[in-house]
Amino acid sequence: MNFEDLKYSWKSQQVTSPGNSSELKLKLETDWNKYQRKVLRSNILLSICFALTFAGIACFYFYYRDKFGIAFQLSIVFLYVLMSVYMAVTWKSYAFRRDHRTATSTDYIDYQLQKLRWQRQILTTYSQIYAVLLWLDLMCYTWEITKHGTATFRFTAMIIFTLYIAGINMWHKLTKRKKALEAIDTIVAELDELKQGFAK
């Protein structure tokens, strides 16, 4: 999601009086549709990749299912859940409804605010769910494939995967997530100010 493009598009707008709301609403619609096209392209590409991954995992499972136990099966289930949840929350960020074009200016802004706040929830809540599910999946998978090794080898592998997931999550939180949240908060604040301008 390119929050910077949307951020600068909102910054280029001025808070005007209700008399100029038609012109401002037209620009809002243009910028919003441009943003939604990017979201749609991204989600379609993600869906295609996930569909291919689902098919590959299914083939892998049916080939090796007799060679591994319940932990292997659970790891497959966890991976499917992880991908399904991620797919659902990303598609929810896309605006399927088109009736907002005829809505009032404040309703139109409320709709955009709703989508942006959902993006914020993805970053602050659902990304943590992804990390937990991925960690569980790796733990089940590691437990199964190291069952013939020593206890030291098994738990060392699990610790390495745990540190890896924790490190990636922390890096994402301190870099990309932080910048994205700052951009979203800026856009939300400016839209709230714009909405107040229409109310005057």
52 lies in some domain: yes
User: What's the confidence (pLDDT) of residue 174?
Assistant: 80
| Residue 147 belongs to some domain of the structure | yes
> Hey, which of 23-32, 57-66, 162-171 has the most confident mean pLDDT?
162-171
- 179 in any annotated domain: yes
Q: How confident is the model at residue 18 (pLDDT cuts 50, 70, 90)?
A: very low
Q: Average pLDDT of 5-19?
A: 47
Is residue 25 included in any domain, yes or no? yes
pLDDT in tens, 93-130: 776 655 554 455 677 778 778 888 888 888 788 888 87
**Average of pLDDT values for 62-86?**
82
72, amino acid identity: F
Quick check: 52 pLDDT over 90?
yes
Give the pLDDT band of residue 28 (cuts 50, 70, 90): low
Residue 23 lies in a domain: yes
Residue 71 lies in a domain: yes
- Judged against a pLDDT cut of 80, whether residue 64 lies above it is answered with no
pLDDT at 11 over 50: no
Residues of the chain above pLDDT 90, percent: 5
8 is a domain residue: no
6 within domain boundaries:
no
Lowest mean pLDDT among 79-88, 103-112, 135-144: 103-112
- Total domains in the fold of the chain: 1
Quote the pLDDT of residue 98.
58
Host domain of residue 138: 19-199
Instruction: Give percent of the chain above pLDDT 70.
Output: 74
